Amino acid sequence: MKKVITYGTYDLLHYGHINLLRRAKALGDYLIVALSTDEFNWNEKGKKCYFTYEQRKQLLEAIRYVDLVIPETCWEQKARDVDEYKVDTFVIGDDWEGKFDFLKQQCEVVYLSRTPEISSTQIKKDLGK
């Protein structure tokens, strides 16, 4: 079984996220999403999520491409996750191009093109938040 992992906040879930998850799943048979916790988002990314971790987890678990959701609590957990979950492929959007090449010692690393014109930030702006 080919296992794929990806990481993200996935707040205000939108079709750009779904495009990423669909292509990520197509790279293997089992997709793990490491979902940024509320604390990680605030402390490390300066992001205040609209939905809580539990709500974002529930949304992701309802997506047919997603097989497992685990918490992302720190930047450094990726290498450990790849080993622990016996991951074959790490995948993330190309806004992170090159940032995780260090994982190439352990698994395949794939950067997928982002879906243009949509982001959680844009949605909030359009809604006047």
Q: Which residues bind ligand C2G (CB under 6 A)?
A: 6-10, 16-17, 19-20, 36, 45, 72, 92-93, 95, 114-115, 118-119
Torsion angles phi and psi, residue 98, rounded to 5: 85, -20
Which residue has tokens 């959701």? Answer: 69
Q: Let me know if 47 is a catalytic residue.
A: yes
Q: What are residue 46's DSSP bridge partners?
A: none
Residues 78/103, Cβ–Cβ less than 8 Å: yes
Nearer to ligand C2G, 10 or 53 (CB): 10
| Choice among 45, 86, 99, 125 that is catalytic | 45
Name the minimum Å distance from CB 83 to ligand C2G: 17
Name the minimum Å distance from CB 122 to ligand C2G: 9
Residues 100/92, Cβ–Cβ less than 8 Å: yes
Residues known to be catalytic:
45, 47
